[in-house]
Amino acid sequence: MRMAIMADLHLNKPTYRNVMDKEFTSLPFRTGDFLRSFEWMINKCVNEIKPDCIVIAGDTYDTFAPNNEVRGFFSVQLKKCIDANIFVNILIGNHDICMRHNALSDIEELKLKNIKIITKPTILDTKQGHRLLLFPYSMDIERKNMTIQEEFSKFLQDVSQKEKVKGKILFFGHFGVQEARINSYKKEVKVNSDDGDDEAGTELVFEAKEYRNRNAHDLTLGDLDSIGAHYIFLGDFHEHQLLKTRSAISMYCGSIEKNNYNEQFQDKGFIVYDDAYEKDLNMGCCKFIKYENCRPMLELKGTIEDMKQYYSTLDLSKYQNAIIKVGFIGDRKQFTVFSSELEDFKDKLIKETNAIHIFLPPPQINDTSLQEAIKKMEEKFKPDSKKVVSIDIMEVVKEMIRERVPEDEVLLVEEMATNIYKQVISTKVK
């Protein structure tokens, strides 16, 4: 049996909603990115892989109310599968649902040939002898009628009462797993590059960072082992990753496109399971099919000189049509230089990369005068110091105002600060 497994399509992704797509002209360009990725995957399945079945492991949409253009696009892709006689099982994910309905209820009502919307835990036996265990994000969980642990335990009881099958047991779900990676990304840091030459400088390298799921309400790796499945395929977390279960080969499929800058170095794609594949030590009878056309993301940060130096080292062919993040980090003097040169630098980025969008997060300005004032305040308010009185607080505040506010505005700002402080004190007394 051959299957294609996808997850976290997020087809109506609305990020940067004011920058429209060049192909889907009425939609934001990020929505267009996700639509193109999904279409590539469906075409790959229909024309090359030719699976018996496709499973979408939740979050077809980014919200439970996609617009008609996105709905229509999704329906066109499903029709390709119907015409190719490929079965499609679609699990509801937490993004697809609200208290009243799910975003796929229209397709469910049509009862299309070969298309099944999985709204509650379901057991399907295939003609090839495999058993599919399908565990969506259900309405009962959304409405808090039961916890995910309760529904999972109930489902396992239903599974245990079924007769055994000759083929493999494959589990598909949409939920978080404790200890799985929520985010895993690379951070650029400067390190000394002393190679013995007289001129020792610094260089930018990538430092790996990761955050793991500590949510006690989510299922555990032990819970996954208790399923008794041979393979476990999950949606919800966006990084493709293998999980350390003992009795099954378990993995998150990962999202089909990069959602944000935490994912800028992650590979995106989908999984193909085929019991005729030669077994791989880690993936078993599975292969990860990489999507090569993800939207490039480039992050430039530091002073304007830091940005220009790093930018000069890049292979710009890898960053055509990129989203570029320009984040200033430095002192006030360097920020003045950055501000004066920013427009010319942006023009250069657009000309050389054809950047589709350039955005600036709030600048990180290292203000030494503010840091010194904070230190003074900390010294005054140490736990072992004398009892703090109102005049002590206002003295520190006024000192900070005098350091940071133009002379002709000092008195006005001091008066405003005093009035605010009095209001806070009177509120606390009440």
Q: What are the tokens at 149?
A: 């642990």
CATH 1.10.760.10, applies to 2-290: no
Distance CA 204, CA 140 (A): 49
Distance CA 356, CA 22 (A): 10
Query: Domain limits of the chain?
Result: 2-290, 297-365, 375-429
The neighbour count for residue 150, using CB atoms within 10 Å, is: 12
Which residues, listed in sequence order, are joined to residue 56 by a DSSP beta bridge? 6, 90
Length of the chain: 430
Nearest to 305 by CA among 344, 338, 333: 338
Distance CA 78, CA 110 (A): 13
Going residue by residue through the chain, which has 430 residues, state the pLDDT in tens, using 9 for 90 and above: 999 999 999 999 988 988 999 999 999 999 999 999 999 999 999 999 999 999 999 999 999 999 999 999 999 999 999 999 999 999 999 999 999 899 999 999 998 889 999 999 999 999 989 999 999 999 999 999 999 999 999 999 999 999 999 899 999 999 999 999 987 665 555 555 555 444 445 555 556 677 899 999 999 999 999 999 999 999 999 999 999 999 999 999 999 999 988 888 899 999 999 999 999 999 999 999 999 999 999 999 999 999 999 999 999 999 999 999 999 999 888 999 999 999 999 999 999 999 999 999 888 888 765 556 556 655 655 555 444 445 556 666 776 666 566 665 667 667 777 777 776 666 655 4
Q: What is the pTM of this model?
A: 0.81
Distance CA 104, CA 92 (A): 8
Nearest to 91 by CA among 66, 67, 125, 116: 116
